[in-house]
Amino acid sequence: MCDLKRTLDATGHCVLEMPSGTGKTVSLLSLIVSYQQFYPTRRKLIYCSRTVPEIEKALAELKRLMAYRLSCVETDEERQKEQSFYGIGLTSRKNLCIHPEVSKEKKGVVVDARCRDLTNAAVCERGRQDPGSVDLCDWHENLGKLEPGNLIPPGIWTLADVLQYGRDNKICPYFLPGQMPFVDVIIYSFHYLLDPKVAEQVSKEMSKDAIVVFDEAHNIDNVCIESLSIDLTRPMLDSAARSVGRLGDKIDEIKKTDASKLQDEYAKLVEGLQEAADNEDAFMSNPVLPEDLLKEAIPGNIRKAEHFVAFLKRFVEYLKTRMRVLHVVAETPLSFLQHLKDITYIERRPLRFCAERLQSLVRTLELSRLDEFSALQKVATFATLVSTYEKGFLLILEPFETDNATVPNPIFHFTCLDPSIAIKPVFERFSTVVITSGTISPLDMYPKMLQFTPVVQETYSMTLTRNSFLPLVITRGSDQVAISSRFEVRNDPAVVRNFGSILIEYSKIVPDGVVAFFPSYLYMESIVAAWNDMGILNEVWKHKLIFVETPDANETSIALENYRRACDNGRGAVLLSVARGKVSEGIDFDHNYGRAVIMFGVPYQYTESRILKARLEYLRDAYRIRESEFLGFDAMRNAAQCVGRVLRGKTDWGLMVFADKRFARADKRAKLPRWINQYITETASNLSTDMALTLSKLFMRTISQNPNENQTGISLWTLEDVEKAQAKQKELALQAQQEQRDAAMDEEDEYGDGGIDDSMLPDLDV
């Protein structure tokens, strides 16, 4: 917390690693909120998390924190201040829609499109003038009737709260936060800040001195890369071509009925893009254009609507021809543009405006059901991106899905190799960026990859009165056959059986929930089939129920819910899921939901992937990060992420089983976060299944004893302990001025700085 304070004062960036389940979120929030409330400037907090469940959790914690603060205030003035505190979360229309029909739609894109049809400015205008002529969304209309800035009373609104409020007052929860004049805390997902397409709309008006926190940021580089990468497939291009055709038809039609409209647009475009941008119902927005570009006028050759349509048509055709190639092509954006120019005479400059121009046209034409245009949208974005960036990107054309496939299924990858490109605007714009997670070891990797210099960079270990988790590395089965998910041996029956027997044995001895992670979907699916045929799963059925992660997110959620019910009920269950998969991100398996996590194999990425290869090469050339180093780092952070999900709080306990020969290697283990690594003993790092079982049983027997025996003094500090520690610190360095305040408020937080002094003795006061 002191480190965080230092960062805030120094207005710089920082990287913090805190063990999972130690109250990371709440300690961050409590400091920042009191910081906000203390200074009159009220720096805004932008809190980014990775998944909606995590966003919701953060909001709930914030809400609780504010309730606590409110209960502690002394004067009315302060009370007023606390009460006027705003905190909201943002998410998509799909998650917030309460329109009876629209919300039934399954796909987020469709919900977006239908919502726009019901709520965009032009339709609203018409609907209001002539009630009944067009469908409008009542909820959105009701919102307009209320006075802006006064829509929702101050306080912390979790997503569920907002939904409920919307239902109760018949107003649209999605547009509600958008109308807010001033918000102290905003919580949303990474993409809203990193993805330039979204960030433009959402995060534009954030002031520069806002505090940005990326929680659960261990995968932040991947999010950065994802937000600037794009895939094009044959069906997509076909659909884009159709859309272009429809655009053409529509233009012809409009020309006959309302030619002035197009004329207006043309005039606007001459003046420059900026004017044309109307943020309220933007269909899509520009992927990172430099400021100066926005001020420029749209190039002449695509200013006229029909010219632009022809231009798009040509571009789509060109891409289609490229797809006919039957061998793998990898090229830089520059060479792609050169080739494009040679063949179709399309220049780079108009290409850059493609996305912007399309948006303008769509708005002019007042198209509905925009989801059908999504392919074209993608093509336009692709055009803009490819012509904007020169370095750090690569175009890869893969004609076949796998190496031995015979039917071509071409995919044109436009892939970003450099995560720092997407996050650069964030670092430049905001003065304080905090990157934190339970598992971001080794710490120096992140500043290197994201190209920033942190003011503070710290990892905290966990102080525990008892070893509440037991990491075990199983390297061989009871029959002494080495186990590994290495590609060559992973389907070896002996290995599969040994993996299976680990699952059986643990499902026998561990109470309640067991979670097993596999390195990939492919492997999980094949091993589930194999286990079933070998009768291994039948054995597991005897002890626990089995749930498996499926491709469909909703289906998995239901399975997950049932899994939790089974754990609550005492029946116990096994959940099979995938590292880096849906479940591994943002679902906690605390307490009885996960008494053991088994990591089958090392979750390496698929090294045959061309995109990964390109990225590795780039990392090596640009940042001097060796391939093997990155791969190992990436695998271990995912493994740590998976096993780290078992712990939440110090009364919780769990087993962490790493089942792979390769985990025994010291260089692998060194990449685990310190708080896990320090508990892997030498004996526990190279076990066979039966030895691991003995250790596990022993561990479970000891851990099941009464946990509440005097925790205070070691991992839990009372107010006196904290004060004492502070007094000591003061002597050491006479710089702490405000610590008293921080500490008084956060007596429940531990510093975790390793200062485990026996504070009980001095308490006796001889």
Partner 1 sequence: MDAGREERPHNIDFILQALFCSKEGAAQVRLKIGLVNDDAGHNFTFTSPQAVALVEREKFKQELTNIISRNRSVAPTPAPLRPSVTPGTSVPPSNAPTPRIQQLARPSMSRAQSVASDSRRSGTPSDPTGDYRLRKRVLLSNAELAGLHKELVIGGQITEAEFWEGREHLIAAQAASENQRKGKSGQLVDPRPTTVDGETKIVVTPQLVHDIFEEYPIVEKAYNDNVPKKLSEGEFWKRYFQSKLFNAHRASIRSSAAQHVVKDDPIFDKYLEKDDDELEPRRIRDEGVDLFIDLGATHVDHGETGNLKDVTMQAGKQKAVLPLIRKFNEHSGRLLNTTLGEPSSKRRKLNSAEDERYAQIDIEDLRDNETSTSILLNMQDRERYFEGRSAEVGPAAPKVDIRAAIREAKVSLHDWQGNLVRLKMEKKAADSAVLAMTQNVAARLDVRMRTSELPNSRVYASRLSHLFAIADDIPENIFRQMTTCQTAANEFLRQFWLSIYPPPHEAQLSSVTTPAQKAAKATKMIGYLERTHERVEAIVRSAQMEGVDSSRIQVAMKPILDSVDKALAFWKARSSNPNPRGAR
Q: Which of residues 579-618 bind partner 1 (CB under 8 A)?
A: 580-583, 585-587, 605-606, 608-609, 611-612
Nearer to partner 1, 121 or 553 (CB): 553
**What binding mask, one character per residue, do residues 616-655 give for partner 1 by CB under 8 A, x or -?**
--------------------------------xxxx----
Q: Is the peptide bond before 442 cis (omega within 30 degrees of 0)?
A: yes
Report, in Å, the least distance between residue 408 CB and partner 1: 15
Residue 93 has which token pair? 């229309």
Chain residues 472-531 in contact with partner 1, contact rule CB under 8 A = 519-523, 525-526, 528-529
Q: Which of 208, 307, 391, 542 binds partner 1 (CB under 8 A)?
A: 542
CB 225 within 8 A of CB 126: no
**CB-neighbour burial class of residue 704 (10 A; exposed 0-12, middle 13-18, buried 19+):** exposed
Report, in Å, the least distance between residue 189 CB and partner 1: 5
Chain residues 47-86 in contact with partner 1, contact rule CB under 8 A = 50-53, 56-57, 60-61, 64
3-state secondary structure 255-324: HHHCHHHHHHHHHHHHHCHHHHCCHHHCCCCCCCCCHHHHHCCCCHHHCCHHHHHHHHHHHHHHHHHHHC
CB 127 within 8 A of CB 134: yes
Q: Which of 298, 383, 573, 693 binds partner 1 (CB under 8 A)?
A: 573
CB 667 within 8 A of CB 13: no
Nearer to partner 1, 84 or 538 (CB): 538
Chain residues 151-170 in contact with partner 1, contact rule CB under 8 A = 158-160, 163-164
Q: Which of 111, 240, 351, 443 binds partner 1 (CB under 8 A)?
A: 111
Query: Could you count the other beta carbons within 10 Å of the beta carbon of residue 614?
Result: 18
490-495 contacts, C-beta under 8 A, 24 or more apart: 490/523, 490/601, 491/526, 491/530, 493/530, 493/534
Chain residues 684-713 in contact with partner 1, contact rule CB under 8 A = 711-712
Q: What is the DSSP letter of 170?
A: T
255 binds partner 1 (CB under 8 A): no
435 binds partner 1 (CB under 8 A): no
12 binds partner 1 (CB under 8 A): no
Chain residues 388-417 in contact with partner 1, contact rule CB under 8 A = 401-402, 411, 413, 415
Q: What angle do CA 296, 240, 409 make, to 5 degrees?
A: 125
91 binds partner 1 (CB under 8 A): yes
Nearer to partner 1, 300 or 535 (CB): 535
561 binds partner 1 (CB under 8 A): yes
DSSP notation for 546-595: EEE--SSHHHHHHHHHHHHHHHHHTS-EEEEEETTSTTTTT----GGG-S
Contacts of 204 (CB under 8 A, 6+ apart): 279
Report, in Å, the least distance between residue 525 CB and partner 1: 4
**What binding mask, one character per residue, do residues 362-391 give for partner 1 by CB under 8 A, x or -?**
------------------------------
CB 162 within 8 A of CB 88: yes
Nearer to partner 1, 581 or 632 (CB): 581
Report, in Å, the least distance between residue 748 CB and partner 1: 5
Q: Which of 211, 337, 516, 566 binds partner 1 (CB under 8 A)?
A: 566
Position 424: which residue type?
K
Nearer to partner 1, 86 or 190 (CB): 190
For the chain, the 3-state helix, strand and coil shares in percent, each to the nearest 5, are 55, 15, 35
Cα–Cα separations (whole angstroms), residue 452 to 25, 212, 435, 623: 23, 14, 11, 12
Distance, CA of 381 to CA of 377 (rounded, Å) = 6
Strand order in the sheet with 230-233: 230-233, 411-416, 393-398, 329-331
Report, in Å, the least distance between residue 401 CB and partner 1: 7
Residue 25 has which token pair? 């979120």
Cα–Cα separations (whole angstroms), residue 549 to 457, 559, 696: 36, 8, 26
Part in contact with partner 1 (CB under 8 A); list of ranges 74-82, 131-139, 547-555, 751-759: 547-555
Report, in Å, the least distance between residue 563 CB and partner 1: 8
Q: Which of 570, 732, 735, 754 binds partner 1 (CB under 8 A)?
A: 570
Nearer to partner 1, 353 or 414 (CB): 414
Nearer to partner 1, 604 or 663 (CB): 604
Cα–Cα separations (whole angstroms), residue 538 to 500, 574, 689: 11, 13, 20
Q: How many residues bind partner 1 (CB under 8 A)?
A: 115
User: Which single residue is written with the structure tokens 């979750």?
Assistant: 603
Report, in Å, the least distance between residue 723 CB and partner 1: 13
CB 26 within 8 A of CB 65: yes
Report, in Å, the least distance between residue 674 CB and partner 1: 20
Q: Which of 4, 470, 515, 578 binds partner 1 (CB under 8 A)?
A: 578
Strand order in the sheet with 13-17: 155-157, 86-89, 185-189, 45-49, 211-214, 432-437, 13-17, 454-459
Nearer to partner 1, 152 or 309 (CB): 152
Report, in Å, the least distance between residue 521 CB and partner 1: 4
Q: Which of 43, 218, 564, 661 binds partner 1 (CB under 8 A)?
A: 564
Chain residues 182-221 in contact with partner 1, contact rule CB under 8 A = 189, 191-192, 195, 197-198
Nearer to partner 1, 76 or 403 (CB): 403
Chain residues 714-743 in contact with partner 1, contact rule CB under 8 A = 715-716, 718
CB 417 within 8 A of CB 618: yes
Report, in Å, the least distance between residue 7 CB and partner 1: 22
Nearer to partner 1, 307 or 542 (CB): 542
Nearer to partner 1, 60 or 254 (CB): 60
Report, in Å, the least distance between residue 71 CB and partner 1: 12
